[in-house]
Amino acid sequence: MEIFDALFAPIARLLVARGLPFPDLVERMKLHYVQAAIAQAGAQSGDRATDSRVSVLTGLQRRDVVRLRDQDVKDRRPNHLARLVALWQTEPDLGGQPLPRSGPAPSFEALAQTVRRDVHPRTMLDTLLAAGTVALSDDGQEVRLIQPSYQPLAGSDDQLAYLSRNLGDHAQAAAENVQGADPPHFERAVHYTGLTEAQVAELSARFAAAEMALFQEISQTAARMKEENATPGPRRFRAGGYFYRTGDND
């Protein structure tokens, strides 16, 4: 188990910071263990895994397996504000340009209503303003996009949900590669020690600029491809990047 400490440590720090009791984590992990065992046993035999088989694979008692086996652990709901910002930049009639705050399309109000009708456009606007994603004109009648993506406020539920989906897909790609995925997912990293703070800051800035340029190109291309499809395709993807700096040379 020690080999996984590099994975467990940051998750433990985050959960402690959020005040999540350890028994709650254990209960949630039981659910994931059961679902993983069901998937593995089914892939091996082609049949529905019995409760006894899942119990053997997980070490959990059969009563836990019975209780948890039909619960759903997936959450693929996209963040509506991230989708709003993406559409704002990729839709041909919008193109990331400033929009009237209200009125018929093209306007911020109309764009917000195409994303979600159960959330008031004013609520979306206030959240984007607070996050620094958009700004209002001096008279308050025009909305201007000032960030290329929606970055939720630190510590918010939106940010935690975004973190969970990003790390989840990254971990899934890496785990499938370890298990022999063919073709493998692209998953690479560069790491050096012995650098100064100024040198790392320079590399961080270069990395961020290059990544943002690539992300914008991929986003625009994917949006165009999706628009060309007569019906929605069955596949999704997530492409991400990170740059972590620390004083630890280990």
Cis ω before 152 (30° cut-off from 0): no
Using an 8 Å Cβ cutoff, are 156 and 79 in contact? Answer: no
Using an 8 Å Cβ cutoff, are 147 and 86 in contact? Answer: no
Rounded to the nearest 5 degrees, what angle is found at the Cα of 116, between the Cα atoms of 114 and 117?
Answer: 90
Instruction: Please list the pLDDT of the chain residue by residue as tens digits (250 residues).
Output: 889 999 999 999 999 988 889 999 999 999 999 999 998 887 776 778 889 999 999 999 999 999 998 887 665 556 789 889 989 988 888 989 999 999 998 999 999 999 988 889 999 999 999 989 999 999 999 999 998 888 887 777 778 888 888 899 999 999 999 999 999 999 999 999 999 999 999 999 999 999 999 998 998 899 889 889 999 899 999 999 999 998 866 5
Give the amino acid at 226: K
Look at phi and psi of residue 237 and say left if phi exceeds 0, alpha if psi is from -120 to 50, else beta. Answer: beta
DSSP 3-state percent helix, strand, coil across the chain (nearest 5): 55, 5, 40
